[in-house]
Structure formats: C-alpha cells, structure tokens
Amino acid sequence: MIDPSPARPVHLDPLTPLQFLERAAFVYREKAAVRYGQTTLTYPQLYARVRRFARALTAAGIEPGDRVAVLLPNIPPMLEAHFGVPLARAVLVAINTRLLADEITYILQHSGSKLLIYDAEYAAVAAQVRATLPLLRCVAYDDSGAVHADMDYEALLAAASEEPIAFDTVDEDATISINYTSGTTGRPKGVMYTYRGAFLNALGEALETGLDATSNYLWTLPMFHCNGWCFPWGVTAMGATHVMLRKIDPALIWRLIAEEGVTHFNGAPTVLTALVNDPSARRVARPLTVATAGAPPSPRIIRQMEELGAEIVHVYGLTETYGPITVCAKQPEWERLSDSERAQLKSRQGVGYVSAGNVIRVVEPSEDGVLRDVPRDGETLGEIVMRGNNVMKGYYEDPAASARAFAGGWFHSGDLAVWHPDGYVEIRDRGKDIIISGGENISTQQVEKVVVEHPAVLEVAVVAIPDERWGEVPKAFVTLRSGSEVSARELELFCRERLPGFKVPKAFEFCDLPKTSTGKIQKFVLREREWSGRERRVN
Amino acid sequence: MIDPSPARPVHLDPLTPLQFLERAAFVYREKAAVRYGQTTLTYPQLYARVRRFARALTAAGIEPGDRVAVLLPNIPPMLEAHFGVPLARAVLVAINTRLLADEITYILQHSGSKLLIYDAEYAAVAAQVRATLPLLRCVAYDDSGAVHADMDYEALLAAASEEPIAFDTVDEDATISINYTSGTTGRPKGVMYTYRGAFLNALGEALETGLDATSNYLWTLPMFHCNGWCFPWGVTAMGATHVMLRKIDPALIWRLIAEEGVTHFNGAPTVLTALVNDPSARRVARPLTVATAGAPPSPRIIRQMEELGAEIVHVYGLTETYGPITVCAKQPEWERLSDSERAQLKSRQGVGYVSAGNVIRVVEPSEDGVLRDVPRDGETLGEIVMRGNNVMKGYYEDPAASARAFAGGWFHSGDLAVWHPDGYVEIRDRGKDIIISGGENISTQQVEKVVVEHPAVLEVAVVAIPDERWGEVPKAFVTLRSGSEVSARELELFCRERLPGFKVPKAFEFCDLPKTSTGKIQKFVLREREWSGRERRVN
C-alpha cells in the first residue's frame, strides 16, 4: 500500500513493481491471477498470500536489505517470492534449480543469503547444501503436503497476518534481486536489479509482447532465469493470468495452450523445436505470441511456429540486461517478402526495446577505452554494448568485475555482432564461439543456420576443433529428426552448395546436444571434449 | 541522442520522451510518422525537422528553461513543437486556440514566454496580442505558403542544421511543459509536467489503449489540451502513425477513418455524439479504439459507438493529471450482462491506470487536514484525490495555489464522486454542478443519463435553478435529434418513471448547448443565465 500521508512530493512515487500487484488485486477481484493444476488463486488471494509471506519473513528476522534465496520451479510460491521478498524489503536471490550442491552453496555464501526456500523436488540437493552450511535456515514447500524437517512454507503463511504493508518508502534505485549468471567459465557473478529497472522492464515486456488483461501467460521460461525476464511483474501489471508449469513437457504444454487459452509464452529456440516436433503439436485456436531468445531462432523454426498459428517475437539480452533488451521489430514492408526472406530478417536480434530506447551499439575492439561504432555494413564484426534503465546496477560485491563490464560507460555484452544498414544488430557469435580458420572469421551461427535447413536435421551445434593446417576448423554436432537419415557426406554436399568452402564443417558427428537448464546448447561442453589437453586462444 | 560517454551510472538514463522519437526514427526508416492531407513525413524526416526546430530556437536566443508558446491546431508543427521545444531544453506552453486575445496575453505574460509560434488561422488574434505585447517575438506557420510579417516557421527550419543534439543530460524531474487550465472561474493556472511524468504517462496511454507499431492515431483531441493526453509522445514511442486533423469535421473524420485505416482516436462524448449522428457514420472496417473523457459517456453513446464497431475506453483525469489517470477497466464477467447493464458500468470513471497505480481515493470533507476515505458504498459523496507520477509537479509561479491543491499530500481534484464496492469511482458532479434541493443532493449527471435515454434527445445539460421553496431545483436544457419532436411534458413523464420525484427537472428548455473548445458542455454559462443577479452558494 501507499502510505496515506507520505513525506515526499505529491508527484513523485518510487517506481516499484509492488504497485502492480496492489492495483491488480484492487481492480480484478474475481479474476484468476494464478492457475496451477486444480488450483486457482484470484488476485486478492495472491496478494494476501504475498503479504503473509512478507510478514513471515520479517517475523523470521529478515531485515531490509537481507538476501532471501529460493530454489523453486515455476509454481505459485516462486511467483509469490517475486513480490513477497521485496515487500519485506529483502533482496530475492532466485537460484537455477539445475545447479549442483557446490554451485548452490557458493551462491548462498557469496550472496550471504539468510534463508533458503526450496521445493521438495530439490530436498536432496538442499540436504547436501545444509551439510556445508549448517546454520542456513530453510523453508520447504511440498505440494503433496508431506511434512519436512524444515519449516513448512504453507504453515509459515498460515501463521502470519495479512495486514497491509506500505511499499512506497523504498528508494527506486535499491536492489530488488540478485541473479547469478550461469558462468560457463569462472565463478558465477551476482547481477543486481533495481526496483526502477524491474518496473520499467516489466512494462517494456508488456508493450513488446502485447500483454493485456485478457492474456493468459504460460510459464515455460524459468523464473529463476533473469527473474523470468520481469514477466512475474509484467503479467501481474496487466492483470493477466499466470499459468504455472513445474517442468517443460511438450505434451502438457500443448494441452495447457488449448485448455487454458494461452496467449503468450517465452522460450529458447530449443524449446520451440521440442514443441513443433511433439506429436501433440496442433494449430492454436487463440492468437499466440511466443517471445524467443537465447539463440537466434532459425528461419525454419520461425516458419514452423507460424504454420501452427503462433507469432514469433525474437528478442535478445543477457542476465545483465534484465533478460531482453532488443527486439527484432517487424517492418511493414517485410509482409511483401517471401516466407524465407522474412524469416531470415526475423532471425536478427534487432533494435532496443521501446522502454530501453536507442542504447544498443556495436563497437570496435578498443585499446584506448574510447568506444567507436563499427560501420553499419552488415559485415564488420564488433561487440554489442548497451546502457540505461535496462542494464544492471552492477555485480554484487564485485566492484572489479563491475568496472570491467562497464568500461567506457557502457555494459560490454561479450557478444560479437554485425550492425546492418537498417540499424538491426545480428549476433554472429558469443565471443568464445567464433572460429578463426586460417585467419578468416567463421560465424558458427551462420553455419548452423545452413545445416538446420536440411530436412533430416532437428538441431545442430557448430564449434571450432583444432586443425594442424588452419589452426581451427568447424565441426558440426547434429541431432537428426526421429525416423530421418542422412550421411555426413550428404550434409557436407548440402553445405557446399550454400557456403564458401572454408566455412563448410570438416567433420559431422551425430549425437544428442548438451543443454543448460534454460535450453541453451552448451557449446563449451562440446569444445572442451574436442580440445582436451590442448589450449585454445580466445580473442 | 545519448551522449556516447555520459558521466552518470551505466544503469541510469533520465526518463524523457525524446528517447521515443530517436528510437522511432532509428527503427522505422520508411514508415509514415505523420499523415496530413497530401503530406507524409517518415520518422527520420520528422526527427530531422525537430532537430532543425530545436536548433532554430537556440539560434533565436532561447535558452534552457525558457518558455516557448504555441497557438497551433493539430498540424505537423504542433507535433514538432512537442519534441523540438524540449530538445532545445525549453518549456512548451501550448495555448488553447479558442481563447480570446486577453486570455492569451495573460498566459504569455504569466508564463514569461519569449516566443510565440502561431498558425495563420490565428493571425488576427496574434495581431491583437502583439498590440499589448509589442516585444513578443512571433513565428508564423502558414500551410498556404503565404508570406507573413513575422518570421516564417518553414524558413527558420530550412536555415537550421539537423545535426544531432544530446538530450540525456536533462534532470527527469525538470519541467517539460506548462498547460494552462481552462479556469471557468478566476485566472488560468499553469500546470507543470515533468520529463519523467511525460515518459511514464505516454507509455501508460499506449498500454491502456493498446497502441502498437501498426496503429494509426487520428488527432481529434486537441494537442493543446493536456499535451494531447501525452499521445504525441505515446504514439511516437510505439512507432505508430499520427493522422493530423486541423479541425473537428465529422464527415472528414469518417473519411479519414476509412482511408487512413484509423485504429485509435480520443474525444469528449460530445464529439462522439456528433460522429454517430453524422450522415457519413458507417461501420468501421479495422478494429477502432476510442478513449473518451471530459464527461461520462452515456450508456446510449457507448451502445451507438459499439454498434459501429468501435470499442470505447472510458478514462478520466484533469489537466493536473496529464489528462487521464483512471480507466474504467473492463471485467470479464461484464460480458454476461445485458448491453444496457454493461454500458451503465462502463460509464463509471473507474480505477487508476496501470502506470499510475492504486493512487486514487475518494475522501470525506476534512476540517483537520487528515484525509479519510468515504465508505465504498456507491452512495456517499466525497472528493476524488490522487498522487504519484501521474500528477503535476505544481502550478507555475503559484506556490499558494499549489499548496492548496496538494493539501494533506494528495492532489484535490474538486470532483465529487462515490466509491463503489468494486473499487471503481463514479463522478456524481464537478463540485459546482451538484444541486442541493431541500437539503438533498441531486447529481445532475444522474439526471442527464436518464433524459438522454429518450429517443428524441440528442444532448442534455442539467443545472440548478433558483427555487423559492427548495432553494434550488434541476432544470434540463435539451437539444433534440434533427427531425425528432417531444414535449416538455412527455420528457417529464419519461423522467418520473425513472427517477425519484425530487430529481425530476422542474423545467425543460429546448436549445443548442454552449461548449468549450474541447467539446465540454459549459454548464456555468447556463447557470449564470439562470442565476443572474442572484447569488448561489457553492459548498
């Protein structure tokens, strides 16, 4: 609630996403805020649970600024944590549920979290963590109702009061959450989000994906990932319905899309690939908007999703940018192009969000600290940098890493891209992914886009492997569509027709691809296997 | 443009609507920003003109913080002023074009405007103003190309450079514009808007009315009115198209809706009445969203607009709240009601905007300065108060009036309303409009809603007239639909069936209704006529 007689000027209230929940609970008295299996929570019910949650935290000794960690799938308590923790003026640390005990322990220690709330599904890893951190206080949530040794989430809520709590005395630049990067090398870093950033990005997502009060949002994207791109706050802002999902299950997703009238979901292209290839795939009845990121969607997956009636919004960002900061905004004249030309344009990362503004650049490598734009020629490779309200406040307790990331007054993404004459950026590779073969740059993403066009191919990852003559050359790891067959030789010929010779993979291997919990292909796993014992220099 | 090496933190850029134009010009290179008769401006062309405008102002000696006044209809220079004046770091004073010379002179003097930009249509009044203010510098715009004695707008732009100008060093709490209230009593007051408020409210309008990059917005609402409810900035933010309109002309509006594929416009209910009763009225081909405010739309006009295929969004606000601050948010269960029940619910003012939050209250009259909510019973009359980022910074150079308006930490609207159990506010009357008859309150709006349901009635205004026995009683001024006939006696009987006796008008007069330039009925004109020579106490 807003303090009825605040001391600050009448025209200045802090930007905070807690305002969204209060308004939704006030305006939408009967509407489902949450649907989870047989459970429905209205907005007033959700808000009452959030107030109990916040009061339970305070009763447990959590003070303003304390960190509260959660290890939860996309179930109601995870949404409640996105409001309840800030309502207690604490800082939310949402941990990737696929991490191993020692990684979780590191995050809990580094963030100095006072409390961990975990789902019974992760009871075993929580027990391992506690073996190392015997003083960590834990709260367990179990939707089977089983009793755990730790404090029970529902019992805590039941014991707390749901009296209103003022949320408007916060500084909008205060930290609302810390999200640890997945960190393929080195220890994870804690990315700090602010109340102001969360508010603006939540509305930005609503604008870019067209959320409104009639929307039903399906939780395919993990909320532990960049706070679910701020959708916990954005969906609530619009008074739309959160449809919960404990885990990615293509058949269940198709059933929920039909039964819950899903209008929006987000997911990596690998999630979309799993969906279009599932036997339950069917044309959708209601307009469906799917925001995708993590890797550029191939023209093929864009076409396949569109054939099922979904509209693909291609966005791009990093943990350091609250999730997406660019969108491949559609141009009216694209409608006149062929499906394949249009899909090609849509696979670019695009331009800044409306809410972010024109604060994305591609810059040359710099020796003197001054950032210079690359020419907008669609060819010159540079690094994507960005700034503004869509960028993190810094890395928690790591001023050195923050200073490095913010060199020259812009956040350095580490992503290599070209800048097209129309102003759209297109990632050619994450820094480590680029292949330098005989002095020539090869974009692994460009090669992947070609290979995946072959009808037998389901997914592909291209990485550099060592080569005596060229230093390194591309190799393709390929997963075939079930029931399809193709030889390495056939794929090579397919590529030769479509790529210059030096970009054609020198080897093809047929296998399943290693993926992160958010569905990103882990190229570094493939690379490490190929380079074991040898050192690869990275530019 | 954003300074490439700003000194402030990487994660904090000031909120400014100039960001919207820069992004739109960068992203939409070919798209029409402006359509005006045979003229089309793309976004890059609009932005280039805005930069020339800003540089011309600076060259003319306008310094940061100086006020620049405009007397312009909804034509391209008026849109350009909404970006060009702030880009020069000056403060925009958009003047109601219907005002008389002495009112305009007062505003120019009070605001200390250094420059006036006027359209040739207002050359006569501009000449009168200059007779009083011989030192005022003037710029004339004439789309016929005629030469005026004053500086010519197009010549100024042509002489200026279109080099980029940094806009990100502004304080987001600085004043971007001053809008003078229409002030039916006393001198107009200058309402100050900030960059932050303009940014947030522009996005708020886009969210509430569903603007996106494919929208075509028709400029029926004067931009001099609350800066067009921030739509100059909101339509631009989304990269939508502004369709200009020099004056309200129902036949032209219907033609533009069809020819330009209009998807959105805003207007007072009187504008909607003129539209539905025009012979050119026809069902729209594209979905059309019409936001209406200024007076509650009658259930009848809501039904009529819906029958033509338009969706009505009923909003409410004042100059002091950047235009709208509440919306009558639709509830899913309303779909199950009859048209007439639904229209009744939609005629309420509603709840705070998503961007504004839950910061609207209805409070009791207070002796001790403490604001207490009225019960949410749909019956108890109180005053609407509001606060937050959707509320003005204060009245320009009038700290006493600002302090009065902000008593108790909330802005006092002067509008009398009830608060319904579902949280929606419903205005029963502007303070002066309420009728107190024999000690009983009569809402003139309630009586009007009944009278306008009679099929012969086009429009109605109900005001208090003096009465020996009751102190005051209601009288109805009625405009009939062309070709319709009804007697005062028949209308009285019609009301008796639908209202308690003391609320039935004691007199009916058939006439045209006096209106403001924004289409609001001027009840005070009718009241003054009836009360001339007598004093009416106002609570």
pLDDT of residue A261: 97
Confirm if B474 and B413 have CB atoms less than 8 A apart: no
Confirm if A315 and A324 have CB atoms less than 8 A apart: yes
Q: Is A32 an interface residue toward B (CB < 8 Å)?
A: no
pLDDT of residue A42: 98
Of A330, A393, A408, nearest to B11 by CB-CB distance is A393
Q: How far is B475 from chain A (nearest CA, A)?
A: 36
> Across residues B354-372, what is the average pLDDT?
91
Q: What pLDDT digit, counting tens, does each position of A438-455 carry? A: 767 787 888 998 899 999
Pick among 3.30.565.10, 3.40.50.1220, 1.20.1730.10, 3.40.50.12780: CATH of A248-433: 3.40.50.12780
Q: Is B421 an interface residue toward A (CB < 8 Å)?
A: no
More confident residue, A516 or A206: A206
Residues 291-350 of B with CB under 8 A from A: 329-333
B436: Cβ–Cβ under 8 A, 6 or more apart, which residues? B442, B464, B471, B472, B539
Q: How far is B198 from chain A (nearest CA, A)?
A: 12
Q: What pLDDT digit, counting tens, does each position of B56-80 carry? A: 999 999 999 999 999 999 999 999 9
Four-CA torsion B20, B21, B23, B26, nearest 10 degrees = 170
> Across residues A174-188, what is the average pLDDT?
81
Q: How far is B369 from chain A (nearest CA, A)?
A: 11
**Residue B486: left if φ>0, alpha if ψ -120 to 50, beta else—which one?**
beta
pLDDT of residue B343: 82
Domain A248-433 and domain A441-531, same fold? Reply is no
CA A223 from chain center: how many Å?
8
Of B10, B333, B393, nearest to A11 by CB-CB distance is B393
Q: Is A99 an interface residue toward B (CB < 8 Å)?
A: no
As assigned by CATH, the class of the B440-531 domain is alpha beta
Residues 137-176 of A with CB under 8 A from B: 173
Question: CB-side exposure of A284: number of CA atoms within 13 Å?
Answer: 25
What's the Cα-to-Cα distance from A380 to each of A418, A440, A443, A464, A474, rounded to whole Å? 6, 12, 12, 21, 20
Nearest CA in chain B to A235: B354
Per-residue pLDDT band for A123 (boundaries 50, 70, 90) equals very high
Q: What pLDDT digit, counting tens, does each position of B435-471 carry? A: 877 767 787 888 998 899 999 999 999 998 988 877 7
pLDDT of residue A431: 64
Name every chain A residue with its beta carbon within 8 A of the beta carbon of B214. Answer: 332
pLDDT of residue B518: 63
Q: How far is A9 from chain B (nearest CA, A)?
A: 7
Name every chain B residue with its beta carbon within 8 A of the beta carbon of A47. Answer: none
Helix, strand, coil percentages (3-state) for chain B, rounded to 5, are 35, 25, 40
pLDDT of residue A331: 95
Residue B419 has pLDDT above 50, yes or no: yes
Of A10, A23, A331, nearest to B352 by CB-CB distance is A23
Q: Is A232 an interface residue toward B (CB < 8 Å)?
A: no
> Across residues A488-501, what is the average pLDDT?
90
Confirm if A83 and A105 have CB atoms less than 8 A apart: no
Q: How far is B119 from chain A (nearest CA, A)?
A: 32
Residue B159 has pLDDT above 50, yes or no: yes
Segments making up each domain of chain A, as ranges: 1-14+42-195+223-231, 248-433, 441-531
Q: Is B206 an interface residue toward A (CB < 8 Å)?
A: yes
B41: Cβ–Cβ under 8 A, 6 or more apart, which residues? B32, B33, B34, B49, B76
> Across residues B426-437, what is the average pLDDT?
77
Residues 347-366 of A with CB under 8 A from B: 351-352, 354-355, 357-359
Per-residue pLDDT band for A70 (boundaries 50, 70, 90) equals very high
Instruction: Please answer yes or no on whether B423 and A206 come within 8 Å at the CB atom.
Output: no
Of A11, A213, A359, nearest to B392 by CB-CB distance is A11
pLDDT of residue B514: 87
Instruction: Please answer yes or no on whether A197 and B30 come within 8 Å at the CB atom.
Output: no
Of B13, B210, B357, nearest to A19 by CB-CB distance is B357
Indicate the average pLDDT of chain B. 92
Q: What pLDDT digit, counting tens, does each position of B475-507 carry? A: 999 999 989 999 999 999 999 988 888 889 999
Name every chain A residue with its beta carbon within 8 A of the beta carbon of B359. Answer: 2, 13
Residue B17 has pLDDT above 50, yes or no: yes
Q: What pLDDT digit, counting tens, does each position of B228-258 carry? A: 999 999 999 999 999 999 999 999 999 999 9
The encoded tokens of residue A108 equal 């809990």
Instruction: Please answer yes or no on whether A10 and B410 come within 8 Å at the CB atom.
Output: yes
Q: How far is A275 from chain B (nearest CA, A)?
A: 28
Q: How far is A187 from chain B (nearest CA, A)?
A: 23
Which CATH topology does B16-193 take? Rossmann fold (3.40.50)
Tokens 């809008």 belong to residue: B179
Q: What pLDDT digit, counting tens, does each position of B505-517 carry? A: 999 999 999 886 6
Instruction: Please answer yes or no on whether B2 and A332 come within 8 Å at the CB atom.
Output: no
CA angle in degrees (0–180, nearest 5) for A145-A150-A154: 40
pLDDT of residue A95: 97
Q: Is B12 an interface residue toward A (CB < 8 Å)?
A: yes
The encoded tokens of residue A244 equal 């919960």
Per-residue pLDDT band for A184 (boundaries 50, 70, 90) equals very low
CA angle in degrees (0–180, nearest 5) for A153-A159-A160: 95
Per-residue pLDDT band for B217 (boundaries 50, 70, 90) equals very high
Residues 207-226 of B with CB under 8 A from A: 207, 210, 212-214
Question: Chain A interface, mutation test: which of B328, B354, B420, most A Cβ atoms within 10 Å?
Answer: B354
Closest CA to A202 of A75, A353, A41, A65: A353
Q: Is A414 an interface residue toward B (CB < 8 Å)?
A: no
pLDDT of residue A536: 57
pLDDT of residue B533: 58
Name every chain B residue with its beta carbon within 8 A of the beta carbon of A332. Answer: 30-31, 214
More confident residue, A236 or A184: A236
pLDDT of residue B430: 66
Q: How far is B169 from chain A (nearest CA, A)?
A: 13
Name every chain A residue with its beta carbon within 8 A of the beta carbon of B173. Answer: 12
Per-residue pLDDT band for B186 (boundaries 50, 70, 90) equals low
Instruction: Please answer yes or no on whether A207 and B206 come within 8 Å at the CB atom.
Output: yes
The Cα B82–Cα B222 span in angstroms is: 13
B255: Cβ–Cβ under 8 A, 6 or more apart, which residues? B280
pLDDT of residue A183: 54
Instruction: Please answer yes or no on whether B11 and A392 come within 8 Å at the CB atom.
Output: yes
More confident residue, B467 or A153: A153
As assigned by CATH, the class of the A1-14+42-195+223-231 domain is alpha beta
Instruction: Please answer yes or no on whether B423 and A27 come within 8 Å at the CB atom.
Output: yes
Confirm if A451 and A491 have CB atoms less than 8 A apart: yes
What's the Cα-to-Cα distance from A484 to each of A11, A13, A442, A454, A478, rounded to whole Å? 64, 59, 28, 11, 12
Instruction: Please answer yes or no on whether A5 and B409 come within 8 Å at the CB atom.
Output: yes
CATH number for region A441-531? 3.30.300.30
The size of the A-B interface in CB pairs under 8 A is 163
Closest CA to A412 of A389, A441, A382: A382
Instruction: Please answer yes or no on whether B30 and A207 come within 8 Å at the CB atom.
Output: no
pLDDT of residue A466: 86
Per-residue pLDDT band for B109 (boundaries 50, 70, 90) equals very high
Name every chain B residue with its beta carbon within 8 A of the beta carbon of A203. Answer: 203, 207, 354-355
pLDDT of residue A524: 79
Confirm if A435 and A478 have CB atoms less than 8 A apart: no
Q: What pLDDT digit, counting tens, does each position of A205-254 carry? A: 999 999 999 999 999 999 999 999 999 999 999 999 999 999 999 999 99
Of A330, A333, A423, nearest to B26 by CB-CB distance is A423
SS3 B498: coil
Tokens 């220099």 belong to residue: A537
A212: Cβ–Cβ under 8 A, 6 or more apart, which residues? A206, A238, A240, B207, B210
Residue B539 has pLDDT above 50, yes or no: no
Q: Is A370 an interface residue toward B (CB < 8 Å)?
A: yes
Name every chain A residue with its beta carbon within 8 A of the beta carbon of B15. Answer: 389
